[in-house]
Amino acid sequence: MTKSLKSLWDRFLFLDRGILPTTRLIFCLFILSIGLVIGLLLELSWPMIIGLNVIVIAGSLLDLMFSPRKKHLSVKRIAQDEMERGVSSSIVIEVTNHSEYGLNYRLVDDIPSSFTNSFPIKGRIHKETTSSITYLTEPLERGDFQITKLYFRYKSFLGLWEKQLTFQMSSKVRVIPDLSETRQYLENAQKFLLYEGVKIRKQQTGAGEFSKIRSYVVGDDPRTINWRQTAKLHEVMTNEYEPEHGKYITILLDCGRMMGAELEKGNRLERAIESAITVATAALENGDYVSILAFSTDVKVFVPAGKGMAHLQTILHAIYNLKVDAAESNYGAVFSYLETIQKKRSLLLLFSDVHTFVREESALIYLRKLRQRHYFLMIGVEDETLHKRINDNPSNVQSAMLKSMAQQQMMMKNSRKRKWEKQGLLMIEAKEDKLAVTAVSYYIDIMNRNLL
């Protein structure tokens, strides 16, 4: 295809500027053609036929004069700098019509293919007015994106022709992980920490830092009663303790091949990132230090330990664009690196695939050394397919073999998990929609029991 033909084709596909006939004009020409054929049968003269064609075409071209020109239209896009993956966001298009003529329009915004859309958007803009056009889109992938163009078509007064314009407008959009669970934790931490109907374990009596003195209520431990304040106020008062602050939490994110397994909503890495941000929020709000280390074959991202909610933005901007690598994760190299940079005792919270991790015998050597100084906890997503195969009622030989193989895989994984747990390395699996809840619950439980 030559350059000129490609340019013409782009205009026809709503990709450039130009003027196109509408279905109304084509229908009028079709009716005219039928009338001329009948006129030929009735021996209508050729000058008459040519005159009728000239009148219709000239009239249609005259219709173009009653439509706004390009210089009379201005467009502005208002989009958020940050959007959350899987969460609907609105984009506003402001179109100003400076001409004396109204118009009926169709528009298509040049958003990335990973964004949902409902184009083309249709509507009408009156003369000498500014119209705001709002549409919803849902980004399905994290990362940095740029919206550069907007394609706009509008019809003439009689609707016989349609003009198309391409506006150059650059808008940068950053798609970050879904923070819905993080907001839920900040709104109601205790309700968020409920997991399978069981509340988190209370801290040990008198353990942790002294928080405040309050009135005694039914259910409080009598050993925490403050007798001095009770005698002074003539009311039973009790001491309230909270877990010690200033602990170190190191969150490890596996970006290896197995983390690309698709789930109902995203993949394992997406769930791990969202859960890691929720755990980081809980830890930072409690006054702990949080660091992040993402890895596959080597270290991809490392965020040094920081304190305060402002550190959450540092973490978010560092990990929002993490992608799954096609290679297997090198646990040994990462644990060796971690041993050199994390000297203070901390909670090592690893998000990875348990089934893959327990097969890495080399990682056990490094973790034994780390376990002497740190507390290790690994959390992964349950394999729903494996559980489904195990719970199936086989109806034929093939389904029976699949079930037996699934049971064998589960027994092997549980056996290896017990081997690791004997070394003091705790491993947990949770459903994908409970991953963040489980991670935060175990973090709070470890803090409450002063295991660090």
DSSP string, 53-121: HHHHHHHHHHHGGGS--GGGEEEEEE--SEEETTS-EEEEEEEEE-SSS-EEEEEEE---TTB---PPE
Asked if 189 and 436 count as a contact pair (C-beta separation under 8 A), the reply is: no
H helix or E strand, kind and range, residue 313: helix 310-319
- The answer to whether residue 208 scores a pLDDT higher than 80 is no
State the amino acid at position 31 in one-letter form.
Answer: I
Query: How many Å separate Cα 336 from the centre of its chain?
Result: 32
DSSP-derived pairing of the beta strands 209-215 and 237-242: antiparallel
Q: What pLDDT, on a 0 to 100 scale, did the predictor assign at position 18?
A: 76
- 448 SS3 class: helix
Higher confidence at residue 53 or residue 373?
A: 373
To which residue do tokens 């709503």 refer?
A: 14
Q: What is the pLDDT of residues 119-150, one digit of tens each?
A: 899 999 988 899 999 999 999 999 999 999 99
As given in the structure block, the two tokens for residue 223 are 């050993």
* 406-422 pLDDT per residue, tens: 888 888 888 877 877 77
Asked if pLDDT for residue 9 goes beyond 80, the answer is no
Facing residues of 145 across strands?
173
Helix (H, G, I), strand (E, B) or coil at 211: strand
Whether residue 222 is preceded by a cis peptide bond, meaning omega within 30 degrees of 0, is no
- Exposed / middle / buried, residue 98 (Cβ in 10 Å: 0-12, 13-18, 19+): middle
Residue 245 reports pLDDT greater than 60? yes
Distance CA 248, CA 284 (A): 10
**Which range is least confidently modeled, 108-112, 208-212, 230-234, 249-253?**
208-212
Q: Are 89 and 176 in contact (CB under 8 A)?
A: no
Q: Name the residue with tokens 């150059």.
A: 168
The residue that leads in pLDDT, 13 or 96, is 96
Angle between helices 23-41 and 46-63 (to 10 degrees): 170
Interval 233-255 mean pLDDT: 83
Give 64's contacts (C-beta < 8 A, 6+ positions apart). Answer: 19, 156, 161, 163
List pLDDT tens digits, range 69-86.
Answer: 888 899 999 999 999 998
- Residue by residue, DSSP assigns 126-153 as -TTEEEEEEEEE-B-S-EEEEEEEEEEE
